[in-house]
Amino acid sequence: MVLKISKFFAILIVFSSLLFDTDNEFNSVKANVKNSPANKNDLNLYHGMGVSFLCNATRKGFDLDFQKTLSVASATFASVISQKHGGKILERKKEQTVDMKQLQFIASLQLVESALKVCPDNVPEKLEKQFKIEKERIKKLQGL
């Protein structure tokens, strides 16, 4: 159990260090610079890192709780958008401020969808069913 927890934190530290600048001197210089919104390439990078983290942390041998790991990955995704991009994304060539809770929810859905493609054996059946129900609900809402 202790080994699983230490592996989880090791993965989390590596994952978060890739997303956040740790050089405080550089960050203090950037403090006066306007954050640019996250573009499609940024979002794809953060998403890919989130899926990689999710699949690696929940694979056999690590066996970490999928739902908890998903929460960490989606919260980290939203946190990066908030901290590095000032909570803004570039969508259809227009800068938009996003609600962090909504962003985290959407990131969770997208991460589950990708995990079902990349590492389907890691995704619990119950979560897969919930994802399919939610996806159908969103399709109906978009059709209105």
Which pLDDT tens digit goes with each residue over 122-134? 999 999 999 999 8
**Residue 12: pLDDT over 60:** no
* DSSP summary character for residue 92: T
The distance between the two most distant Cα atoms of the chain, rounded to a whole number of Å, is: 50
User: In terms of residues, how long is the chain?
Assistant: 144
**Residue 22: pLDDT over 60:** no
Average pLDDT, whole number, for the chain?
Answer: 83
pTM equals 0.73
Inter-residue long-range contacts of 114-122, CB under 8 Å, 24+ positions, other chains counted: 114/47, 114/51, 115/51, 115/54, 115/55, 118/51, 118/55, 119/54, 119/55, 119/58, 119/59, 122/54, 122/55, 122/58, 122/59, 122/66
